A and B are shown apart, each in its own frame.
Chain A
């Protein structure tokens, strides 16, 4: 049973560019959350997708957008990249409402983004 997979593993971009990160959830999971982990910090919630809609959003600007496909996979898009966007981007998947049903979020290995 494959866990959460993310691609690419590493990415280097320059300021102003746009980037797309991809996530495939764990088999059977229908909910995908994205987190940003800056160096030396804990992950920060970006947003969550369920049934192809953004269900919850953290304190991130509109430059961060996402999408969920019918097969539950998801993309994170970041426009007009800034140096401060350099971070590890983590995808997590779960089944439904994680707290209501005491479900667990499973995390992928992340995509390391470096903005020069």
Chain B
């Protein structure tokens, strides 16, 4: 069965520091991978997605993620964090064959120190 693991429940970084949020998935074939962000009281906003092609994906708000098949990972990165990036981040995986659903990880809460 598919699964998504986000090993870090909370991460705290200083404003201006770099950020990496980890995501590992379990799936036999090439998955479709997504990162969403959720601010308090709001729905999920798509940051970026990977379907195929270049394994380094650029997203909105200066985020990027790299698909590494050998490590079954899709880590999210940002070179310089802003206070407004504080939120909950979710990695999700999807597959084409008869399933139209997204499987989400349990999320990583990002706290930003001033």
- A and B are interacting partners: yes
A108 within 8 A of B: yes
B28 within 8 A of A: no
The chain B residue sitting closest to A43, CB to CB, is B104
Question: With contacts A43-B44, A107-B36, A107-B44 known, is A48 near B104, CB below 8 A?
Answer: no
Segment at the B interface, from A14-22, A65-73, A75-83, A96-104: A96-104
The chain A residue sitting closest to B4, CB to CB, is A42
B41 within 8 A of A: yes
* Residue of A42, A48, A58 with most chain B CB atoms under a 10 A cut-off: A42
CB < 8 Å: which of A33, A35, A42 contacts B105? A42
A55 engages B106 (CB within 8 Å):
no
Given the complex, which residues of B lie within 8 Å of A97, measured CB to CB? Answer: 100
A7 within 8 A of B: no
Given the complex, which residues of A lie within 8 Å of B82, measured CB to CB? Answer: none
Q: How many residues of B contact A (CB 8 A)?
A: 26
Provide the bound-state CA to CA distance between A90 and B46, in Å: 14
Given the complex, which residues of A lie within 8 Å of B42, measured CB to CB? Answer: 109
Task: Give residues 45-89 of A contacting B (CB, 8 Å).
Answer: 45, 48, 55-56, 58
B49 engages A110 (CB within 8 Å):
no
B101 engages A107 (CB within 8 Å):
no
A56 engages B104 (CB within 8 Å):
no
Given the complex, which residues of A lie within 8 Å of B104, measured CB to CB? Answer: 35, 42-44
Which B residues contact A (CB, under 8 angstroms)?
4, 32, 36, 41-46, 49, 51, 90, 92, 94-96, 98-107
Sample of 10 further A-B pairs with CB below 8 A, known A48-B101, A55-B100, A109-B42: A40-B106, A41-B106, A42-B4, A56-B98, A98-B100, A99-B96, A99-B100, A100-B96, A104-B49, A107-B43
Cross-chain pairs A/B with CB under 8 angstroms, 15 sampled = A33-B101, A40-B107, A42-B107, A43-B90, A43-B104, A44-B104, A45-B101, A48-B100, A56-B99, A98-B94, A99-B96, A100-B96, A102-B51, A107-B43, A109-B41
